Structure 1
Amino acid sequence: MGLRQLSSPRTAPKGNATSALGMLIAVAATLLAFEIIQPVDLLLGVGAGILIGGVLAWRIQMTAMPQLVALFNGLGGAASALVVLAELTRPKATPLESSSLVAAGVGILIGNITLMGSLMAFGKLQGVIPTGAIRSRILPWLNLMLLLACLGFTGALVGAPDSMVIMLTLVGLSLVLGVTGVMSIGGADMPVMIAFLNALSGLAASATGFALHNEVLIVAGSLVGASGIILTNIMCKGMNRSLGNVMFAGVGVADGSGGALAAPGGGTVKQASPEEAALMLVESELVIVVPGYGLAVAQAQHAVRQLADELEKKGVEVVYAIHPVAGRMPGHMNVLLAEADVDYEKLKDLDEANPLFPQADTVLVIGANDVVNPVARTDTSSPIYGMPILDADKAASCLVLKRSMRPGFSGIENPLYSSDRTMMVFGDAKDTLLELIAQVKQN
């Protein structure tokens, strides 16, 4: 029932609550039926979880949502690894079967990789650690050696399930692999990495289920793992790259120290005042909004919806073009616009949006960079060459709202900004949108 409700944006919140309730009932029934804990302990655990979750939900900013998702993935991996370790170390009347021990080793391996990989992703997104990709010829070989060592100790665990040395060595190596595996991932590839870590958290839970012979964990973990793998594949296709290329190519963040009016190739850019930009929008018949991470940073989702409402009052059609890797997590722009109550029917994916750009009078790009970069179509030497982009450069005119001329998270300059069809409006996206709203009302 929960999965069916999750298939529609309108019923997704109810589906999320239904699925969570179902999992709570399954966990509570298991703990009480086998007398694993007392009812009081169960209530304390549920209460603590509700309290922590409630505080997070209340205080978290939408700009920090990718970091929160990364932490959730990490907690899922940690939970799986801890449950397996508890099962391996508890006194047992009969030893575990070989198949269960293999599953336990895999659960420890994937769970710890997910934990440390997610913490690394969180650190990069939060700016706690450098966001750029670390390029090293040694790192892929180090990761391969660590993986082979982990698999070797997983096999050794089958032969000596009571050996704390083997167990702790496997834990340590898998934690290190989680760090080194994500170390080479640049900020531009973080949405793909988060989707992949989500898949790993599900696979860890499923492996734990096999180790414990717990059908609920197997089914739930398989669902999360399968959906995460499908999403990772979709995200990779959205960048025209393989998962291996994402893991090892290291597309990162450039210095981006260019001045406000420095354009790619030494060209010049044209600036528009809010008054001029508002006039362009009002005189348009079709406006396509292209949101990016800058929209999230400025918390401008409500302002862009208000601007769209004002334009629609004047007979202007407004739609939103959503790139699958826009932002810092899968579905980032969808979440932001849903929070602002934007009609889901107005959100167009890549395939739906691109045929509309040649018909558009104005494209309003808000904090998006790489997903509208024509270099992906023209420059074979560019790291993003071949990546499907939103064809904003094919519209009659383009308004770009940015703080400066600095490149996107990939560090690649965007010639769209110096195009004859493009006008730049510099400043905070939310402040600029509020000025545009005021000017549109006056026209």
Structure 2
Amino acid sequence: MGRWLDERLQFSDLLRSVFEHPIPKPSNFLDYLGFATLFAFASQAITGILLATAYIPSAAEAYNSIKALQAVTLGSYVRSLHSWGANFMVVLVFLHLLRVFYEGAYKKPRELTWIMGVILFLATLGLAFTGYLLPWNQEGYWATTVGSAMPGYIPLIGEYILRIMRNGLEVTGATLTRFYAVHMLVLPLIILLAFTPHFFFVLRQGMSVADKLEAAKQRGEDIEAKSIPFYPNVALRMILLVLVVAAALWILAGVYPKSLGSPADPLNRNHYVPTPAWYFFGVYQALKYFPGRLDVIAMVGLPFLLLIVLFGLPWIDRNPSRSPRKRPLALSIAAVLVVGLSFLTYQGIRSVPKPLPTTGVIAAPSYKADIDPIFQSRCVGCHGQSGGYSLDTYANVMKKNVVPGHPNASLLVKRIEGKVAPQMPLGLQPLSKDQIQTVKNWIKAGAKNN
């Protein structure tokens, strides 16, 4: 049977090219991140299929179906594996992309391999983002609300894209159905369509590290002393890396199981603080550094520029050398971008406002102690230096919003009371009467920066 298949498909030549080709010494575990990423995707596919057998993709039943799954020990563990696996896959794809960049493996003749890799990276982010909403809990609902609002900043077509993503203007049960279809059907298909040629190109062209041996061979050098066989030496190292990644995933899923939290509440009666998923915190934080109408730069301009650079990198970088030592400019720029993104992500996570305690009416409120926490918790998520009605700093609060000594004449009060539509905060439960009265007392006293 094997001979019959080999005569028609010629698998033996393919396997021989994979297992018999040499790899230069020393072999680096970082060269096998792509294989570890493939394992992460396989884990996500298996656990996702298992979860789909119990999941009901509707706003009325999604949360309860996951809750019932969580009540079973094995079901809870499978969900934790899937949740942690999404984070693992995002990190592994990102690290693999960085490793390929460092080695210069995007250069001729591997341009198409790189492009397929970029598509895989974007599809992985899409999988993680669309999967966040599916439990229909507070965390997923509000992360999706914040994250899906970002394309709305695109001039002219922003609202159209927003409607396509959400299947309407708000995050509803229709959004859940759409995200489920994209998560289960569209994005996995894109990944398979991109991975197939990506894997084929790697098989045909070999790993970029093998180019060093080819160059040595052309110089007439003996490459046997400078190389090790792929099988069993390198193959065992790849398997070892996968086992390390698998062990880390399995242990984390068991020690830190994924909780479900409260069901999604569009009115947000429990004052859940909306935040995006962690991989969008960099953009979320960058928004705070672009005042007024410049927020479109952070939300649209910079990500779009990054996409152009990623897809065009093999042609933008005209340096013919692949050696990291001969590419100081490219590596320096990449290092600045990675450090900057890491810093923005860290700052974004740290700057998440905490829910406000119920304190009652404060007769003589302080801006720093009493008023600013209200804005940071309930308003800055949408009005962080945006739209001309920013509330992230005292100066921005005063501009256009407050008439000192006259609370009822202040646009801020009219907005939070609903006298000027729409009532703020939009999409959330209105401020309590005590909070509104506290803001009024502060404005009546002169709206001081105390």
TM-score range, shorter chain: under 0.3
- Relative to the length of structure 2, the TM-score reads 0.25
Higher relative contact order (CA 8 A, sep 6+): 2
